[in-house]
Structures are given as C-alpha cells and as structure tokens.
A and B are shown apart, each in its own frame.
Chain A
C-alpha cells in the first residue's frame, strides 16, 4: 500500500459525562491510502461519527495518534492545525444544519478561500463558480440563501464547500442518510465522479451497509467504539467472518440476486450496550450467537486472517 494519507493508531475519544466516562471511540487503528474510499459502518451510537469528527480534529483525542501525510496532528493547536485543514475536509450529515442560514451560497463557498488567503476577490469568484459548476449548481444559485434549496441541493453546496480548499481526503459523515431516497443516488454518483476527477480519498461513514458496499474499496465495521472487522469490499460482503458483520449483512435487503450468498441467517437482537459500561472481554458477546464463556475474559485483538482481512473475534478460525 502506498504511504497513507491518513493514519489513525489506537485512537481513543472518551467523553466525561455526569453518568460516567463514555468511551465513544476506544482504540481504533486504520490507514487510508491516497484515492482510496474506506467505508465505516456500524449501528447508531457505535462511535463512527465521533471517529470521523475526531480524525477531523473537531475534538482533541483522548489518546492515540492521527497522522496526516505522516505528520502527527492529534496534539496540534488550533492555529498550528490551520495549514493542515486544507488537506482534510468534511461533509456533514444534516444539510439543513451544516449551512449558515444567513449567508448566501456564494459567500459560504468563499469563506474557506478567504480564511486561507487564497487568491484575490476576482480569483475567488472564479473558483467559487468552478466549484458550483463541479457539483452541478447553477451560477444563479450563488446569490441565494440555503433555505431556498432542497436537501439534495444543499448537500451539493456542502460538498462544494468541502472541495474549496482542494483536499486530499474528505470525511463523509452519513452524507446521504438525511436525504430522500430519490436523491441519494444522485449525491452518491456525484461523490464518485468527484473522486475520479479530483483523485480524492474518502472516509465514508454510514449505517447503511448497502450504500457503503456501493462506494467503498475497503470496509471497516465498528461496534461500540472498536473495529471488529476490516476487509476489502468484496471479501467483506461475500465472506464476512465476524458474527456482527454477518448479522449486518444478513439484515441488508437484497435486490440483486447475484449478491445473494449462502450467509448464515440470524439477526442480532437487543440494543447496543451502553458505552458507559461496555461488556467485559469481547464487547459483542452479549448479542453474539456464537459466544462462549471465554469471550467474557479476553478482549479479542484485531488480527489478520488473510491479506488485508482483519477480524477481532477469537471464535473465528485463523490461518
């Protein structure tokens, strides 16, 4: 693998709350190569959004390292971080909350250029027009305010803003889950076109495995603050090893018969345990169909099963 753009090592983000310490992200390691799309799936509340926001340095991680093109950014100050920001950008989940309602679209797209001192007024105007065109917005849209647009259009604005600084990696935090089903495909296709044209890498966060399967090169599965399985898309989809991954895939409605595999039936039952007090040993054991007594004793490490395929389960036969 080429030297990674983003490299997370044992990243942890804990939040102190009145009820106790929430271990939203608890030791996650993953590399993302240039031009690669890594999908991150998991249930609501498993910490995948926190992982995205922590990688983005919206919060300072509790422990672990975040390396951007080999440079440690996990402990940089806000001002020291600024030059790195342009390489790493983010698309937010809620297109209604992620745009400043008081600014015109043109101004929203110009803000990153102003903050980073890119070009003079005329050059910035050209760049904003180019961005709008790139995401399929008409030039007239630049004079309007966000409330005049539909959810899909707003998400295009959010994508254009993320692209303004020519990032190498874009963290997409559930970019289509707030959109109508009918416009999801358009936005996903736009993201794929942009990736091809601009050579972007994505960390694509979603709870929807079928979307992730469609866009990703590799997929990581997260459960209660930990990664339980990483593999390339095809392997994960056809030969999932971790019982949680198997359950997630079993829960995906199949529209394409060629995707139907002889997967193990059985959905996970119950709710995600509280991250305030995760189960001892393997965190999934409370809902796992194949758990045994030993699972409560040892936390299974993420271990290689085959080339590029890692699983955190002691019950899966290794090589």
Chain B
C-alpha cells in the first residue's frame, strides 16, 4: 500500500489529475453552501457576460440563470451520475466476467455471447434508446449508462479470471475443499482488482461524457441541472453567447482529463512492471 502511494505520487500528471478532481469534488460539496437556491432560478438579467458582475462571476444564460450556480450544482449531478453508473456497470460486469472466467466451458460461452450481443449496439445510441423508452430521470440515465458500459468490464474480468483460475493457489483452494463463492470472492477477485479499478476510473469519465451527451440532446433529467443540460440550453445561442456552452464544456473537459490522468496513474502504480515503457 505504501509502495503503491509512493509510485503514484511520483507520477506528476496523476497528481495534477487528483488536484483537479479534488476541485470538482469541492465544487460539488460547496454547491448548497454557496448557491443555496435552485440553479434554475432567474437571478439576474439574461446574457450577462462572465466577469461583468461580481455577484455572478461566470455570467448568466439567456434566461438570466447564474452560470456559476449551474456549474456548482452540475458538478454534483455529473459526478454522482458518473460514479453510480460506473458502480452499476462494475457490479454487472465483474459478476458476469467472474462467473464466465471461473467456470469456463458452456457457462463462459453463453455469457460471452450475451456480452457480445450488448457490444454490437453502439453504446451512445443504445443509451439514447433506453432513456427514451424509460423517460429521462436520474435513475433511468444511471441504469442506461450502466447497461451500455458493463461489457468491457465483463471481458476484462473474465480474462483476469481465466489466467488466475489456473494458478496453483486456486488449485490449492480446491484441494482444501473451499467452495466456489469463497474462492472467487476471497482469493481470485482481490488479485484481479488492479486492472478493474483502472478501468473503473476511466469509465467514470466516459459516463460523465455520456450523461452530458444525453442532456445535450434533451434527454437529461428535467429536474436536475447537469453540465450537459447547460450546454444543451446554450447551443441555441452558440454564435452570440458562446461562453454559455464553453464554460460547462471546459468543466467537462477538465473533469474527464483529470479522471484519465488518475486512471493512467493508477495503472502505472498498480502494475509497476509496466512502468517506464
């Protein structure tokens, strides 16, 4: 663990990623303190340019809504959806991958064909279809993103389990008389976790992008304001007031970049042998 932290800290890009992420998390946590009112409230004149009014540093959109409030509250929504959707995808993907890789044979065949079935549909289109069918809400968006993003996790987990399965320490577990569940959860999974964690951190980034894309298309939860919602509203005034789109766009860009840097850093720190490539 200390080794891991030392290796991670040596990676400057990863530290930058952590700092940006901490800022985003701070935005999310401070949102109800700094902007206790709903970000949907019209609080000032429309099209207030950023920096023009000290009370609203990021300006306002065409409805006079404070963009800073939107960014703060949007951080909550985007992060929450990104993390929960990733957890859903990990739960499904790890379970299916673990069972397929551990048991092999026809179980593996069936589960992998199902996984491929999901992979043949382009992820974003599939997400649009699911959200349209189930009405846009935070729950349906989370489930849709989870549904389209578990197959790569399942494949990764399966390949890890396939190699670990034949290792002698797993055979030793069997000779002891251990049950499959105990072997999978206590002995194989912890050894397969490193690449799964790395993939998970990158998936949060993808999930945030997907949510923004859905909100941009008007498939966001109408009751919450995410960064994608602001971009979607701002696209009509892109030529006259580009900052309405640009500001949440930059927020998404930085968050996704940060998550990727952290993911890369985790990858190098968890697989020291691959370092210094």
Contacts of A56 in B (CB 8 A): 175
Chain B residues near A (Cβ < 8 Å): 167-169, 171-180, 182, 187, 190-191
Chain A residues near B (Cβ < 8 Å): 53, 56, 58, 78-79, 81-83, 85-86, 88-90, 92-94, 97-103, 111-112, 115-116, 158, 161, 165
- A58/B174 in contact, CB under 8 A: yes
Selected A-B contacts with CB under 8 Å, 8 pairs:
A82-B177, A90-B172, A94-B168, A102-B191, A103-B187, A111-B176, A158-B172, A161-B176
- Which secondary structure characterizes the binding site on chain B? helix
- A89/B168 in contact, CB under 8 A: no
Contacts of B169 in A (CB 8 A): 97-101
> Lowest 10 CB-CB distances: which A-B pairs, in order?
A85-B177, A98-B168, A82-B177, A92-B168, A112-B176, A97-B168, A102-B190, A100-B169, A90-B175, A115-B178
A-B contact count (CB 8 A): 60
Bound CA span A196–B31, Å = 72
Shortest C-beta distance, B67 to chain A (Å), equals 47
- A115/B176 in contact, CB under 8 A: yes
Bound CA span A53–B167, Å = 13
Q: Which of B171, B176, B177 contacts A53 (CB 8 A)?
A: B171
Using A99-B169, A115-B182 as known contacts, say yes or no to A85 and B175 having CB atoms under 8 A apart.
yes
Q: Which of B174, B175, B180, B187 contacts A100 (CB 8 A)?
A: B187
Bound CA span A56–B174, Å = 10
Bound CA span A92–B173, Å = 12
Q: List 13 other contacts, CB 8 Å, given A161-B176, A165-B176.
A: A58-B175, A78-B179, A78-B180, A81-B177, A82-B177, A93-B168, A98-B171, A100-B187, A102-B187, A102-B190, A103-B187, A112-B177, A115-B176
Shortest C-beta distance, A16 to chain B (Å), equals 11
Contacts of A78 in B (CB 8 A): 179-180
Q: Which of B172, B174, B179, B182 has the most CB of A within 10 A?
A: B172
